[in-house]
Chains A and B, each alone.
Chain A
Amino acid sequence: MLPDGTTHIDGEDDIVYVRKQVRDLASGIGFNLTDVTRIITAASELARNIYRYAGKGRMKYAVLHQRGAVGIELEFQDEGPGIADIPQAMEPGYTTSRGLGLGLPGSKRMMDEFHVWSEVGKGTIVTIRKWKRNN
């Protein structure tokens, strides 16, 4: 089916590119319009976090097949400063950059699965998954 792959995030233009790529991927899998929009929005937030807080990083994407279900997995990886207090970063409104503080908690709400790994000085990996509803 669709190939798995990696997209580099180096600048603002890459955020637009990530959105386009995620749209093609998610609609190709057959997600409904609202879910496609949710996945694009989450990807946009997480790609922006990489650009803003780590400078650069990448998005890995994969199509999942599990017990007859089809899904999408996006992994946002960077080698930036990391997040010292993950629960705090997950609080709606918490920001260290005069943002809205909605990127992480909002992405979590929009996805079926959401996981953050981070170590100060090493980097951050945010993994999101969404499964296609079969109706």
Chain B
Amino acid sequence: MLDSNVSVLKLRGILFVTVPAEPGDDLINHLQQKILESMEQHEAKGLILDISTVSALDSFFARTIVETAQMVGLMGGRTVISGMRPEVAITATQLGLSLGNILTALNMDRALDMLEGLEEEEWDR
């Protein structure tokens, strides 16, 4: 039942995940697990986590996102959070949340540019 709410799409070595609106704790935990499994299974090099439908980010949810990005990092992938709504960004900042050094982008398109740009940089080195 939880599974139907979460879809993980893989394109060109990158996982695309859209967080459902109003996710409960179970769903957030499930999402994290599913992302990590998919990272391993697809040997993905990056993750784009779209939160454009999320209308409020509380500290539990934010912590899970940061944790997930750290784990993805340990598996050799980069995470970009895309689509954070302005009012969510304002509120999150006021709450005192920090997304650590996770990259953020306006939308999935920009997030993809970002990940591909990073990859080129690594080639150049």
Instruction: Check A57 for interface membership: any CB of B closer than 8 A.
Output: no
User: Quick one: given A102-B95, A106-B95, A110-B91, are A37 and B55 in contact (CB under 8 Å)?
Assistant: yes
Q: In the complex, are the beta carbons of B94 and A15 less than 8 A apart? A: no
Q: Which of A26-49 contact B (CB under 8 A)?
A: 33-34, 36-38, 40-41, 44-45, 48
CB contact under 8 A between A41 and B24, given known A34-B87, A105-B96, A110-B94: no
User: When A and B form their complex, what is the total count of cross-chain residue pairs whose Cβ atoms lie within 8 Å?
Assistant: 69
Beta-carbon contact of B62 and A37 below 8 Å:
no
Asked if A12 and B95 sit within 8 Å, CB to CB, the answer is no
Complex alpha-carbon distance, A42 and B55, angstroms? 13
Contact partner of A99 (CB less than 8 A), chosen from B56, B60, B87, B95, is: B60
B97's partner among A12, A34, A44, A102 (CB-CB below 8 A) is A102
Closest to B97 in A: A102
Closest to B62 in A: A100
B63 located at the interface, meaning its Cβ lies under 8 Å from any Cβ of chain A in the complex: yes
The number of chain B residues with a CB under 8 A from chain A is: 22
In the assembled complex, B124 has its CB within 8 A of some CB on chain A: no
Residue among A20, A34, A37 with the highest chain B CB neighbour number at 10 A: A37
Q: How far, in whole Å, are A22 and B62 apart by their CA atoms in the complex?
A: 20
Among B58, B62, B91, find the residue whose CB has the most chain A CB atoms closer than 10 A.
B58
Q: Are B24 and A38 in contact (CB under 8 A)?
A: no
Q: Is A133 an interface residue (CB 8 A)?
A: no
> Per-residue 0/1 for B57-82: is the Cβ within 8 Å of any A Cβ (1 yes, 0 no)?
11110110000000000000000000
- A12→B25 contact, CB < 8 A: yes
Chain B residues whose C-beta falls within 8 Å of the C-beta of A33 in the assembled complex: 87
Which among B26, B58, B91, B94 is the interface contact of A48 at CB below 8 angstroms? B58
Residues in chain B within 8 A of chain A (CB atoms): 22, 24-26, 55-60, 62-63, 86-88, 90-92, 94-97
Q: List 19 A-B contacts (CB under 8 A).
A: A15-B24, A15-B25, A16-B22, A19-B22, A20-B22, A33-B87, A34-B90, A37-B87, A37-B91, A41-B92, A41-B95, A48-B58, A100-B97, A102-B59, A106-B94, A109-B94, A110-B91, A110-B94, A110-B95
